[in-house]
Amino acid sequence: MEQNINYTEIGLIAGLEVHQQLLTQRKLFCHCPSGLYTKDHDGVVLRHMRPTLSELGEYDGTALMEFKSKKNIIYLLHKNNVCTYEMDDTPPFLMNQKALDVAIEQCLMLGCDIIDEVHVARKQYLDGSIPTGFQRTAIVGVNGRLPFLGRELSITQVSIEEDSCREVSDKGHLIVWRTDRLGIPLIETVTGPDLRTPDEVVEAILLIGRVCRTTGHVRLGLGASRQDINVSVRGGRRVEIKGVPQAWWARRLVHKEAIRQVNLLRLRDELHKRGFRTADDLVIKHTDVTSLFKASQLAFLRTENWDRYIAEENRRPGMELGEGPFCVRAVKLTGLINTLNWPTQPDYSFAHELTGRVRVIAGLDQQPILIHSEKWPNYKGSQRELLRVKEKIGCSSNDSVVIIWGPLNDTLTAAEEIRIRHVDAVNGVPNETRQPFVDGNTDFERILPGPDRMYPDTDSPPISITRQRVKQLRAKLPPPPWEREELYGAVGVPRNTIHFLIRRGDAAIVDKVVGMCGADIRQACFFFGEWLKGMRRDGAAVDTISIERWCDFFKLIAKRPVLWEARKQLVSLIANAPEKTIKQIVKETGLKTKPSGWENLVKKIVENSQLDPNNNSYEKQFRFYMGQILKELRGRVPARSVIAVLQEKLHKRII
């Protein structure tokens, strides 16, 4: 399989949905604290989701799939971070207006037009990730654009929404969710399908990240921003790679998805060539073959081993365990020889597509989930066993067979899903949401939902956003990242440092201390962008220092530049004594005063110190004395004055 493909030739198109949590005290629709995560829980709720009918009495595709998977859903609650709203026992409170302000601000940064009247919608999710079965979401901005690689990146829409639960475990029919993250306000930024290469996708993620973080009003840290990448190739369909945690993952993910779609399109052509053009052309039948494997070397196909497996795994009936007795089922794929081994991604073949569906929808997750005739495991008597299966179900040399096992009802669901996946294969690339892995591979997560899953939220009134409100928020906006890049770049700050400052939100502090406290821009950029990293690494609580205290600090530096030389000591004191004013701290150190007769101190130190006789080069001597003297005088006497006196003294001695 080729690793190098020409993205233009295959018509690669990608777009992004970037999720960014907003920095607010409270959640979006209730008054619980936002961003307070817990590791344990003090309450448990069991729920199920049932799809609701759409306009034409049809169920949304995703909804139906998720219902078929018959999940028991458990929510872990902690009273410190959830109330009865999150567990869907209290209707929403009015939307957090501070969160809405931050969202509007974000929209403005992204160059969007702000919506006049915001309407809250319900977006259905039946996987249990939200206890209501839907996410409350509302469009706040549309029609934005950002300068991007010499052209523009279009922003289709920005919506404000509540974050979902965190998955704890997913075993058979039981999925467990922790609710602490649920309800944290976030924005989803949707770009146009403007990206053409994996590198562009990475660049776009980083750009949007910088724009979002410019205001300092968004959350940072693991999980605070996640992106979904939409990928398609010419003739393929939109596939959403969901929850990509870091930008650089995108390079491999997009590349491998492009390859996957090209290969699935080739498989479609092959199927058409063989006369499989519609669902009706496919003959996929299944048979119970449990008895054929009674004495198999493959332990997982033997009934008594299944009993042991469910005991060991503690799979409880009605919870993790599906319904019905243990069953091994053979699915016969008529005329489909050599399709299961059809390569899709560098490490996977088409059989992997089946595995994903069987695992997610049928809840059959005992490894290896399925086995098939085109890569039959090798063991004693293996070929004989395969032959027996083929005979029993009447396989010809043009047919393939897939074996699945588990509770009877689940094997029936699995067989049907295998058929459905082949119907999709006849049509090319199915619309799917896929879960990303760091190596760039992906696995099936769910069917991609359509607009049918959107409903108005009858619990929330519309919110009118006045132009006055927009104007006020616009007036307070910081400069966009590309302006800062130009500004800081002009004084010789490297690009990486600039991006670091923007990403962490420190650029806002730089602008403030430069603009209002008389700090030098280059000095401030290096201080916050580089120098503080060292202090942070050493464990100083520098991130707890408020912007006001930084201001006071830089105002003082502007007045007494000599203090800059003692910044390490000062910053550490400031971080450790949040209750004291900067002035107080400086006063207590005595740094403010230049000791009278300090020249004598220099003299004394030089005269009294014992030098290592082997280390008496001028430079070494100088460094040694300087270290000794600055212990006493750093921040009180400018280093260059000390140097002058010391040089004079040393010269005298050497001569």
Partner 1 sequence: MKSTSDELKGYKGLARKKLIEWGVRVWSDVRVINDAGSVFEGVILPRFGYFDDLHLVIKMKNGYNTGIHVNRVKSIKEIGYKKAIYKIPEKEFPHSDTLRNVTLLGTGGTIASRLDYRTGAVIPAFTPGELYGAVPELADICNLKTKKLFGVFSENMAKQEYITLAKTIGEEIAAGADGIVIGHGTDTMGHTAAILSFMVQQSPIPIVIVGSQRSSDRPSSDAALNLIHAVRAAALGDIAEVQICMFGPTSDYYGLLHRGTRCRKMHSSYRSTFRTVGDIPLCMVNKNNFEYLTQDYLPRDTERHVMIYPVFNDRVTILYYYPGMNPDLVDALVEKGYKGIVIAGTGLGHVNKPLYPAIKQAIKQGVHVVMTVQTLWGYVQMYVYDTGRDLLDIGVIPLDNMLPETALMKLCWVLGHTDNHDEVLRLMRHSVNHEITEREPHNGYLILQGGLPEIEKFISSHWK
Interaction residues for Zn ion, span 26-45 (CB under 5 A) = 30, 32
Tell me: does residue 523 bind partner 1 (CB under 8 A).
no
DSSP 417-448: HHHHHHHHHHTSS--EEEEE-TTS-EEEEEEP
Q: Which is nearer to partner 1, 230 or 339 (CB)?
A: 230
Please select the residue that binds partner 1; options are 452, 520, 599, 632, rule is CB under 8 A.
452
In angstroms, give the least distance from the CB of 323 to partner 1. 12
Residue 445 phi/psi, 5-degree rounding, is: -115, -50
Q: Which is nearer to partner 1, 47 or 649 (CB)?
A: 47
Which CA distances in Å does 534 have to 220, 222, 527, 531, 554?
A: 20, 21, 10, 6, 19
Tell me: does residue 550 bind Zn ion (CB under 5 A).
no
Please select the residue that binds partner 1; options are 1, 25, 37, 90, rule is CB under 8 A.
90
- For residues 461 to 480, the per-residue mask of contacts with partner 1, x marking binding by CB under 8 A and - elsewhere, is xx-x----------------
Q: Which is nearer to partner 1, 144 or 638 (CB)?
A: 144
Which CA distances in Å does 449 have to 125, 348, 430, 446?
A: 9, 25, 12, 8
Counting beta carbons within 10 angstroms of the beta carbon of residue 123, is it exposed (0 to 12), middle (13 to 18) or buried (19 or more)?
A: middle
Q: How far apart are CA 35 and CA 362, in angstroms?
A: 35
In angstroms, give the least distance from the CB of 40 to partner 1. 9
Tell me: does residue 307 bind partner 1 (CB under 8 A).
no
Tell me: does residue 294 bind partner 1 (CB under 8 A).
no
Tell me: does residue 275 bind partner 1 (CB under 8 A).
no
Which CA distances in Å does 629 have to 208, 592, 637, 653?
A: 49, 17, 10, 17
Q: Which is nearer to partner 1, 459 or 543 (CB)?
A: 459
Quick one: what does residue 57 bind among partner 1, Zn ion, none, with the CB cut-off 5 to 8 Å set by partner type? Answer: partner 1
Helix axes 567-576, 582-589, angle to 10 degrees: 120
Interaction residues for partner 1, span 7-66 (CB under 8 A) = 41-55, 57, 63
Q: Which is nearer to partner 1, 43 or 381 (CB)?
A: 43
3-state SS assignment for residue 455: strand
In angstroms, give the least distance from the CB of 121 to partner 1. 5
State the amino acid at position 474 in one-letter form: R
In angstroms, give the least distance from the CB of 40 to Zn ion. 18
- For residues 47 to 86, the per-residue mask of contacts with Zn ion, x marking binding by CB under 5 A and - elsewhere, is ------------------------------------x-xx
Q: Which is nearer to partner 1, 117 or 312 (CB)?
A: 117
Q: How far apart are CA 636 and CA 599, in angstroms?
A: 12
Q: How many residues does the chain have?
A: 655
- For residues 367 to 406, the per-residue mask of contacts with partner 1, x marking binding by CB under 8 A and - elsewhere, is ----------------------------------------
Quick one: what does residue 30 bind among Zn ion, partner 1, none, with the CB cut-off 5 to 8 Å set by partner type? Answer: Zn ion
Q: How far apart are CA 238 and CA 259, in angstroms?
A: 14
Q: Which is nearer to Zn ion, 89 or 304 (CB)?
A: 89
- For residues 86 to 115, the per-residue mask of contacts with Zn ion, x marking binding by CB under 5 A and - elsewhere, is x-----------------------------
At residue 347's C-alpha, the angle toward residues 414 and 225, to 5°, is 85
Residue 379: CB atoms within 10 A of its CB come to 11
In angstroms, give the least distance from the CB of 219 to partner 1. 24
Quick one: what does residue 32 bind among Zn ion, partner 1, none, with the CB cut-off 5 to 8 Å set by partner type? Answer: Zn ion
Interaction residues for partner 1, span 143-172 (CB under 8 A) = 143, 157, 159
Which CA distances in Å does 112 have to 189, 207, 592, 618?
A: 10, 15, 50, 63
Q: How far apart are CA 446 and CA 308, in angstroms?
A: 30
Strand 174-178 versus strand 72-77 pairing type: parallel
In angstroms, give the least distance from the CB of 75 to partner 1. 9
Cα end-to-end span (Å), the chain: 77
Please select the residue that binds partner 1; options are 368, 451, 539, 627, rule is CB under 8 A.
451
Alpha helices in 476-591 (DSSP H): 481-490, 495-504, 506-517, 521-526, 532-537, 547-559, 567-576, 582-589
List of residues contacting Zn ion (CB under 5 A): 30, 32, 83, 85-86
List of residues contacting partner 1 (CB under 8 A): 41-55, 57, 63, 77, 84, 87-91, 113, 115-119, 121-124, 126, 131-134, 137-139, 142-143, 157, 159, 451-458, 461-462, 464
